[in-house]
Amino acid sequence: MRLVPFLIAAIITTGLVIVLNTQLKTGKSKTPKLGYFLSPQYGFWKNAEPANVDFNQDIKMPGITNQVDVYFDERLVPHVYAENDNDAYFIQGYIHAKFRLWQMEFQTHIAAGRLSEIVGEDKVATDKYFRRLGMVYAAENSLKVLDANPETKAACDAYTAGVNAYIKSLKPEQIPFEYKLLDYKPEPWTNLKTALFLKFMSWDLAGKAEDLTYTNAKTYFGYDDYLKLFPITQDSLDPIIPKGTVYEKPEITVKTPTTLDSLYFDRKDTLTNIPPIKPNKNNGSNNWAVAGSKTKSGKPILCNDPHLGLNLPSLWFEMQITTPTYSSYGVTFPGTPAIVIGFNDSCAWGVTNAGRDVKDFYEMKFRDSTMQEYYFNNTWHKAETRTEIIKVKGKPDVEEKIAMTFLGPVMFDKSYPSDISKNACIAVRWKAHDASNELQTFYKLNRMKNYLDYVDAISTFQCPGQNFVFASTNGDIAIRQQGAFVAKWKQQGDFLMPGTDSAYLWQGIISPKENPQMVNPERGFVSSANQQATDATYPYYLGRANLFPPYRGLIINRKLAAMNNITPEDMQHLQTDNYNVFAEICKPVLLKYIDHSKLNDTEKKYLQMFSTWNLRNDINEKGATVFKVWWDSVEVATYADEYAKATVKLPWPDESTLIDKLISDSSNYKFIDNINTPDKKETITDVVTLAFKNAAKTLQDLEQKNKLEWVKYKDTRVQHLLQIPALSNLHLPIGGGVHIINATSENHGPSWRMVVHLTNKIEAYGVYPGGQSGNPGSKYYNNFIDYWAAGKYYSIIFVNKHDVRKDERMKWHTVFVNG
């Protein structure tokens, strides 16, 4: 009977292997395959990069034609010296993959609606949303024009080949950490993935879908009250193009539909299907350029800090690309060839988000539930059907059938309802769906030599619309809001529109030369901070005011106007400035209306903190926390009674709306009155005082937890894309916040800070909250974060091929040779 112990042992051993080779469920998530993950020859230990890692290497690479030299400086920034464009982009792809492969693929998986494939059924809702929004459809359209242009096609082909050369060189144990954690493998890169990544940025920056919630608000409050909550103008606006600028007569005369009141403003729609994932509402940025007349050196200085989600691995990867025809330095998107924000030998450029509304929703009328024909301008039109298959890890596939109209995909229908009460079919018309070649703009910006090249480079840029700032060594500065913007009648597309009548369609795209722009202005600077581009005299409708926070623009313009003899160091101080101009506007109003006689001693203590506060959101300021908590409480005291009874999701009014009303319309702003106290008509004093008393309770609570300092209250973090705390940097010592130039909020803020001094030999500074390596096991994973939080900058190394050989700041040299 010796067989029995053998069998028992064999079964237990096999069982152990199976268990250790399975992802086990723990709560909502799954463990990695523990045996595999822990194995020192296969698992995560292989990603533990030696601290003294050596990147000196000679690599034989069949895909390149000449030798390519890559020098890494001590921050692991690669400086690529290639003999031609193709080799340069091939090596860019290779290097992106070497340091950021998992992130590149993960981000394009989000865009393509493929998260369920790697994470499981938890993500089906997100995937459905992106599929139905038409992200893949949009990327396919853009790929066609990308391929039709020989320059961008060659760049993408070379880039893709470089990524794939790296993937092919990977041994199984060398795949990035996160693949092992989630248990899947990298797949080949394609040009479509590059297009998907660019569409992901379009979604992040021009994908706001608040039209649906605003439609709800219009229905719930009625159009008149809606306008009191969501006005079209802001009192404190200082636009990108100064007030008083004279605009020419518009090329497109927009015809307002005659049925507007009955078919648009008076429609009673409520929509309940609110997207599971939304672009961050604070996505924005600062950029500016000052002319030589205002600088100490007499040469321009250009600055840019794009505010985006703060993630690890960082969205950005810093590098230099040099060929015999050009040399450019800046930050790149892993997943995309070329440099996105940066400078070259003679020019610098930067971007902020234009934020204009290029995504509208139309209610379509279909003949029947098969959704094959829809009614438009009194005739029936055929609809195509697009089938999207969502693969789900460990579960059967999910199939989405999407009717395609000439306007765009029917995002909502009975299988993906927008509304509980009826099966409305709602199509989305989004500029990002249209074929466009944004890469071409970056390709040309990298190589531009002067202002005219800049204009040529950006004039084809369509979506997401950006404020492109420019400065050159020959002294020019400029800014232009560029994108394919829709010529709209006032409030067109702010709400759901009827999709049966051509009167409601987009009537044209504003020509690039009519876009708001400025070159070498008298005042000696140009700037943008996502505020509305112009005043109301601009001949086209710019969109709802709530798309454009006014305060950063206000303070930047004020400071720049006052500054002279500017140095790069001054610009660094300005980019990291924590002055709260919104609080400056609110403080006198709040102090005017607070009723001291109703406050107890504790409350008076907090009021004292506020009234003596220096209006700076520096890390140790307690007054900043008091202000934030109090202001939020004022908003609640003003609006919560009206909002309480709503059963559908409604947007919340902007800070600017309430403060503008408190200042200008103080006696009769309807929402001040608490509708739950019919016998009493509340005054602003009642609201502000009550709000303060409520805030004081929160503040007391915070104080007990020792969280009254602004830095502790705000609690900034840079978070891993999988939101795993162990892979994130938490509790960062950094001030700033929303409406502040240093726009660092909880997990969002300046994702790259750049200052470029356009002296004959460019002098530049930069920093981003991350590190060049995407590997959590590398010491280069997050090594910039503390520096960034402290408001410090790295001096950028930008040298030519001749000088780099003897540059002692270069730490490693990788040589790629054909072979």
Partner 1 sequence: MKFLTAIFLTALLSFAIGLFTVLPWYSFVFCALLVAVAIHQKPFKAFLAGFIALFLLWCILALITDNANEHLLSKKVAEILPLNGNYILLIILTGFVGGLLGGMSALTGSFLRKIK
Q: Which residue ranges make up the site for partner 1 (CB under 8 A)?
A: 2-3, 5-6, 9-10, 12-13, 16-17, 20-21, 34-36, 38-52, 171-173, 177, 181, 724-727, 776-779, 781
**Minimum distance, C-beta of residue 767 to partner 1, in the bound complex (Å):** 21
**Minimum distance, C-beta of residue 98 to partner 1, in the bound complex (Å):** 18
**Minimum distance, C-beta of residue 467 to partner 1, in the bound complex (Å):** 39
Closest C-alpha among 48, 47, 17 to residue 35: 17
Judged by beta carbon, residue 3 or residue 562, the one nearer partner 1 is: 3
**Minimum distance, C-beta of residue 53 to partner 1, in the bound complex (Å):** 9
Tokens in use for 421?
């009460």
**Minimum distance, C-beta of residue 73 to partner 1, in the bound complex (Å):** 21
Judged by beta carbon, residue 46 or residue 218, the one nearer partner 1 is: 46
**Minimum distance, C-beta of residue 239 to partner 1, in the bound complex (Å):** 46
Closest C-alpha among 633, 587, 586 to residue 235: 586
Q: Is 513 exposed, middle or buried (0-12, 13-18, 19+ CB in 10 A)?
A: exposed
**Minimum distance, C-beta of residue 745 to partner 1, in the bound complex (Å):** 25
Q: Which residues pair with 388 in a beta bridge?
A: 400
Q: Please calculate the CA angle 764-767-772 and round it to the nearest 5 degrees.
A: 115
Closest C-alpha among 95, 100, 97, 65 to residue 83: 65
**Minimum distance, C-beta of residue 6 to partner 1, in the bound complex (Å):** 4
Judged by beta carbon, residue 36 or residue 643, the one nearer partner 1 is: 36
Rounded to a whole number of angstroms, the distance between the first and last alpha carbons of the chain is 62
Judged by beta carbon, residue 13 or residue 233, the one nearer partner 1 is: 13
According to the 3-state scheme, what is the secondary structure of 184-230? Answer: CCCCCCCHHHHHHHHHHHHHHHHCCCCHHHHHHHHHHHCHHHHHHHC
User: What is the four-CA torsion angle of 52, 778, 765, 318, rounded to 10 degrees?
Assistant: 110
Q: Is 51 exposed, middle or buried (0-12, 13-18, 19+ CB in 10 A)?
A: exposed
Q: Is 647 exposed, middle or buried (0-12, 13-18, 19+ CB in 10 A)?
A: exposed
Residue 397: strand, helix, or coil: strand
For β-strands 57-61 and 347-353, DSSP reports them as unpaired
Judged by beta carbon, residue 296 or residue 779, the one nearer partner 1 is: 779
Judged by beta carbon, residue 19 or residue 536, the one nearer partner 1 is: 19
Judged by beta carbon, residue 4 or residue 562, the one nearer partner 1 is: 4
Judged by beta carbon, residue 43 or residue 239, the one nearer partner 1 is: 43
Judged by beta carbon, residue 498 or residue 777, the one nearer partner 1 is: 777
What values do phi and psi take at 345, rounded to 5? -60, -30
**Minimum distance, C-beta of residue 37 to partner 1, in the bound complex (Å):** 8
**Minimum distance, C-beta of residue 4 to partner 1, in the bound complex (Å):** 9
Judged by beta carbon, residue 18 or residue 227, the one nearer partner 1 is: 18
**Minimum distance, C-beta of residue 430 to partner 1, in the bound complex (Å):** 38
Q: What is the distance between the alpha carbons of residues 762 and 757, in angstroms, rounded to a whole number? A: 6
Q: What is the distance between the alpha carbons of residues 404 and 402, in angstroms, rounded to a whole number? A: 6
Q: What is the distance between the alpha carbons of residues 549 and 500, in angstroms, rounded to a whole number? A: 34
Judged by beta carbon, residue 43 or residue 750, the one nearer partner 1 is: 43
Tell whether omega for the bond before 516 is within 30 degrees of 0, i.e. cis: no
**Minimum distance, C-beta of residue 185 to partner 1, in the bound complex (Å):** 13
Residue 470: strand, helix, or coil: strand
Judged by beta carbon, residue 188 or residue 725, the one nearer partner 1 is: 725
Task: Quickly tell me which residue has 């709503």 as its tokens.
Answer: 646
Q: H/E element holding 814? A: strand 810-818
Per DSSP, helices labelled H in 370-477 are 438-447, 451-458
Q: Is 342 exposed, middle or buried (0-12, 13-18, 19+ CB in 10 A)?
A: buried
Q: H/E element holding 479? A: strand 477-482
